[in-house]
């Protein structure tokens, strides 16, 4: 039996930036399955069209780069007009690579901050007057790097820390207008581009899973169910929160080798 009632999101419309692959596509598919009208956006128009087809009938696939405010705004206007406003907006577009700070150029650092942090501002800011208020729910996809300094991730740590603070400020400023703003911090999720970059070999995957308290990678579906929760009335008094959907990974390394008799 499903944990959610069938059609729990019916009558709601959702826009998912970065929803053409990975965790965000998982969120889009789950929301559509639960009755929402869904639009995804990504940089590549072919990928956007393919994602919409995979999500199913009525889903929209649009292309824009979240670094470009005007392009993002144009896509949001188009989707809001097709759906009659927006109830759910998810900012999930992200870029990352592994490199020590001395291996990152100013442009490399700026690129990741631009996609992750400025992109989240652009998506949320551009959607504000298109939101169905009260009742709209915004979710930023962040990461544990926001709170735990991680070597080879200076750019992602800085960008994700910015996202955490941005969403808290928006929760304060937009709460009085009936808009909730939360974040989800996924741990290592199986089959994502992010994990392909951060744990590229079977050995790296096994080593990383052994450090997670729940001893496994998560599934995109598990992150999607957290996102659905934050958009339902079950979370109607929750705003400014960052939900760790990470198997406890953010708590630290829980490998057996750390148990000293």
By beta-carbon proximity to ligand HXC, the closer residue of 71 and 179 is 71
Helix (H) or strand (E) holding 72: helix 69-83
The residues, ordered by sequence, that sit 6+ positions from 32 with a Cβ below 8 Å of its Cβ are: 38, 55, 56, 58, 59
Q: Is 103 in the site for ligand HXC (CB under 6 A)?
A: yes
Among 29, 30, 160, 180, binds ligand HXC (CB under 6 A): 160
By beta-carbon proximity to ligand HXC, the closer residue of 110 and 168 is 110
By beta-carbon proximity to ligand HXC, the closer residue of 33 and 142 is 142
By beta-carbon proximity to ligand HXC, the closer residue of 111 and 132 is 111
Among 49, 50, 74, 104, binds ligand HXC (CB under 6 A): 104
Among 24, 118, 145, 244, binds ligand HXC (CB under 6 A): 145
Paired tokens of 81: 């007009």
Q: Which stretch binds ligand HXC (CB under 6 A): 107-115, 162-170, 213-221, 227-235?
A: 107-115
Helices (H) and strands (E) in the chain, counts: 9, 7
Range 212-215 contact pairs with CB under 8 angstroms and sequence separation of 24 or more: 212/187, 212/188, 212/246, 212/247, 212/248, 212/249, 212/254, 213/247, 213/248, 213/249, 213/251, 213/254, 214/247, 214/248, 215/247
Chain positions 170 to 209 lying near ligand HXC, rule: CB under 6 A, are 193-194, 197
The residues, ordered by sequence, that sit 6+ positions from 55 with a Cβ below 8 Å of its Cβ are: 25, 28, 29, 32, 38, 40
- Give the number of residues in contact with ligand HXC, rule: CB under 6 A: 19
By beta-carbon proximity to ligand HXC, the closer residue of 86 and 112 is 112
Q: What is the largest CA-CA distance in the chain?
A: 63
DSSP-assigned letters across all residues of 117-144: IIHHHHHHHHHGGGB-SSSEEEEEE--G
| Cα–Cα distance, 220 to 16 (Å, whole number) | 14
By beta-carbon proximity to ligand HXC, the closer residue of 104 and 147 is 104
Q: Is 248 in the site for ligand HXC (CB under 6 A)?
A: no
Q: Is 143 in the site for ligand HXC (CB under 6 A)?
A: yes
Per DSSP (E only), the strands in the chain are: 13-17, 37-42, 60-63, 88-91, 136-141, 179-186, 242-245
Chain positions 80 to 99 lying near ligand HXC, rule: CB under 6 A, are 94-97, 99
- Least distance (Å) between residue 102 CB and ligand HXC: 10
Q: Is 258 in the site for ligand HXC (CB under 6 A)?
A: no
Q: Is 16 in the site for ligand HXC (CB under 6 A)?
A: no
- Least distance (Å) between residue 207 CB and ligand HXC: 17
By beta-carbon proximity to ligand HXC, the closer residue of 9 and 212 is 212
Residues that bind ligand HXC (CB under 6 A): 94-97, 99, 103-105, 107-108, 111-112, 143, 145, 156, 160, 193-194, 197
């Amino acid at each position: 039996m499903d944990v959610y009632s069938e059609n729990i999101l019916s009558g709601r419309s959702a826009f998912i930036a970065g929803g053409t692959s990975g965790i965000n596509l998982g969120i889009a598919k789950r929301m559509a399955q639960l009755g929402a009208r869904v639009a995804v956006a990504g940089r590549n128009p072919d990928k956007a069209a393919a994602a919409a087809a995979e999500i199913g009938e009525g889903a929209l696939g649009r292309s824009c780069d979240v670094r470009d405010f005007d392009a993002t705004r144009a896509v949001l206007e188009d989707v809001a007009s097709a759906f009659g406003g927006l109830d759910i907006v998810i900012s999930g577009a992200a870029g990352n690579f592994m490199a020590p700070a001395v291996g990152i150029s100013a442009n490399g650092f700026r690129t990741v901050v631009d996609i992750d942090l400025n992109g989240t501002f652009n998506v949320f800011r551009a959607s504000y007057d298109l939101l169905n208020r009260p009742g709209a729910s915004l979710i930023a996809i962040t990461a544990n790097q926001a709170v735990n300094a991680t070597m080879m991730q200076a750019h992602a740590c800085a960008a994700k820390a910015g996202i955490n603070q941005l969403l808290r400020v928006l929760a304060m400023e937009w709460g009085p207008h009936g808009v909730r703003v939360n974040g989800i911090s996924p741990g290592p999720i199986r089959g994502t581009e992010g994990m392909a970059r951060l744990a590229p070999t079977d050995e790296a995957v096994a080593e990383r899973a052994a450090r997670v308290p729940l001893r496994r990678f998560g599934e995109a579906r598990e992150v999607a169910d957290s996102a659905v929760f934050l958009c339902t009335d079950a979370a109607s008094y929750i705003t400014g929160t960052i939900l760790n959907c990470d198997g406890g990974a953010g708590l630290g390394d829980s490998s057996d080798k750390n148990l000293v008799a």
